[in-house]
Amino acid sequence: MLSQPSRPARFLHRRGSLSFVPGMPLLMGILNVTPDSFSDGGRFDTLETALAQARRLWEEGADILDVGGESTRPGFHGVSAQEEWERVGPVIRALREISPVPISVDTSKGAVARAALEAGADIVNDVTACRDPEMLSVLAEYRPGVVLMDDLPLASGFFAVDVVRERLRERRRVVMEATGLGEAAFLLDPGVGFGKDLAQNLQCIRHASEFALGKSGVLLGVSRKSYIGRVTGESSPGRRLPGTLASALVAGEVQVLRVHDVGEHRQALWVAKAIQES
């Protein structure tokens, strides 16, 4: 049995609403239970290794655990809803029994989201912004927190921020109308690394705060991504932590950072905050 670290929660989820304690981004720890994720595929694809990694993430300061069972790396091969649930289901069930922090399921399939929410997940993190029609009915029934990400291609050379912000606004409108959820239920993710060239990815990071719309906050996922390699020449995702931390520190204000390396981000953010307030 995993012990629960004593640490006050900085994030609260209520049915149909997300709320945050201001002052510093929350850290969403990435828990990939896949054999083929771009950075850590195969490392946590058993229940034992997944729970050990979950404990490490929350002991390092994770405010949310994001469990994913299908890779979204370039060139990934999709899996069926049944296979995806067989990967994430045992982990979510076990975490719900012991986890001191909210649980997010990283899925674009309504059937997987339904099973995960039934098992006790709090948030649905959908990289396709809920294009599966079944997802909409699931969200209407369970009223979880929702992450909508922009994954649509963008023509090279266009300034990304205005286009992506309006696409997220429109997609949120569609999902709100279909589900009855309010603005406070959503986090909006500009989708760094999805359908954008290098300049557009960098623009989305620099202007990240501009994706906050009304009561909807911003989630930024930049951890170990390939744009860092294009800037630095570093081909190994596992060696991109310095570039990831730099991105997190210079990004516009966001409510949530989705990261692999929770402890390192927590330390960097606290030091930056202390310097800014000195």
Burial category of 106 from C-beta neighbours within 10 Å (exposed 0-12, middle 13-18, buried 19 and up): buried
Residue-wise DSSP of 33-64 = --S--TTTTTTS-SHHHHHHHHHHHHHTT-SE
Query: Among residues 171, 225, 240, 266, which one is catalytic?
Result: 225
- Beta-strand relationship, 11-14 and 17-20: antiparallel
> Residue 147 has which token pair?
């992450």
Nearest to 217 by CA among 273, 258, 266: 258
The question of whether 258 is a catalytic residue gets the answer: yes
> Residue 216 has which token pair?
């909807």
Nearest to 163 by CA among 118, 122, 197, 120: 197
Q: Which residue has the tokens 């997944």?
A: 50
Question: What do you get for the CA distance between the two ends of the chain, in Å?
Answer: 42
Q: Which residue has the tokens 């557009």?
A: 200
The question of whether 196 is a catalytic residue gets the answer: no
Query: Among residues 87, 224, 258, 266, which one is catalytic?
Result: 258
Angle at 177 between CA 149 and CA 106, to 5 degrees: 30
Active site residues: 225, 258
